[in-house]
Amino acid sequence: MPKELWTAVDTYITDLLIRPDPDLDAALESSATAGLPAISVSHPQGKWLYLLARMRGARAILEIGTLGGFSAIWLARALPKDGRLITLEIEPKNAEIARANLKRAGVANQVEVRIGAARDSLEQMVRQGEGPFDLIFIDADKVGYPAYLELSLQLSRPGTVIVADNVVRDGAVRDPASEDENVQAVRTYNAMLAAEPRVTATVIQTVGSKGYDGFAVALVTK
């Protein structure tokens, strides 16, 4: 598959439509320097999340899987002044780097990075009656996706948009016999969307600098 071509087109899109943002570049640089894996969303995908949040008029956003805060900066940039983003991260080191990146980007006052296993954090949020959120972005460990969807629905209301990254996985998602637990987990996630009467959903395949993958997008309707 021509990943070089997809990456070149991502560069074209980024140069054309995405204003240079030293804070986003610095977030990627500091993440790389600290040895974090280069698995943030791409620039065009980050802007897509930003546009989605703005189209939704999101004032309360939840992210599951912070890494160095790259997608969190994009999402926070879409918030109104009194809007808030909560982002969940299991690795204290990642959370520390993300906090510094969010601070540099001038959005630290709107973003809370919560350290812990996302499942525990989400269960606590449900117990404490937090939410509902307008937009939820699921991007942590893939095996956790089914539980994250169940818990996200409890933090939603009609109108909430739930987006999940990495649900196509080089096309492997179409193989029911896959022995990859990540593939099986996203298959379960997609099947849950299909069976869930509270949502209407689709999956959009993507190519780009991150290879061949896709996003599941769901709207909570009741």
Least distance (Å) from ligand SAH to the CB of residue 63? 6
Q: Is the peptide bond before 132 cis (omega within 30 degrees of 0)?
A: yes
The yes or no reply on residue 166 touching Mg ion (CB under 5 A) is yes
The rounded distance, in Å, linking the Cα atoms of 80 and 82 is 6
Shortest spacing between CB 117 and ligand DHB, in angstroms: 16
Nearer to ligand SAH, 69 or 131 (CB): 69
Q: Tell me which DSSP letter residue 167 carries.
A: -
- Amino acid type, 41: V
Is position 165 an interface residue for ligand DHB (rule: CB under 6 A)?
yes
Please choose which of Mg ion, ligand DHB, ligand SAH, none residue 118 contacts, taking the beta carbon within 5 to 8 angstroms, the exact cut-off set by kind: ligand SAH
Interface with ligand SAH, residue 91, by CB under 6 A: yes
Paired tokens of 127 = 């117990």
Of the two residues 103 and 212, which places its CB atom closer to Mg ion in the complex?
Answer: 212
d(C-alpha 156, C-alpha 66), whole Å = 20
**The one among 76, 140, 168, 186 contacting ligand SAH by CB under 6 A:** 140
Whether residue 91 contacts residue 13, with contact meaning beta carbons closer than 8 Å, is answered with no
Name which of residues 129 to 148 contact ligand DHB (CB under 6 A).
Answer: 139
Q: Does 87 engage in binding with Mg ion (CB under 5 A)?
A: no
Angle between helices 92-104 and 22-33 in degrees, nearest 10? 160
Toward ligand DHB, which CB reaches closer, 31 or 83? 31
Measured CA distances, 28 to 24, 33, 40, 74, 105 (Å): 7, 9, 8, 12, 12
* Residue 49 burial by Cβ neighbours in a 10 Å radius (0-12, 13-18, 19+): buried
Min dist CB 165 to ligand DHB, Å, is 5
User: Left, alpha or beta for 173 (phi > 0: left; psi -120 to 50: alpha)?
Assistant: alpha
Residues 66-85 that bind ligand SAH (CB under 6 A): 66-67, 70-71
Which of Mg ion, ligand SAH, ligand DHB, none has residue 199 at its interface (CB below 5 to 8 Å by kind)? none
Identified binder of ligand SAH from the candidate list 65, 131, 208, 214, rule CB under 6 A:
65
Which helix (H) or strand (E) is 127 found in, with range? Answer: helix 118-127
- Give, for 124, the enclosing helix (H) or strand (E): helix 118-127
- Does the footprint of ligand SAH cover residue 209 (CB under 6 A)? no
Binding site for ligand DHB (CB under 6 A): 39, 139, 165-166
Binding site for ligand SAH (CB under 6 A): 39-41, 65-67, 70-71, 88-91, 94, 117-118, 139-141, 144
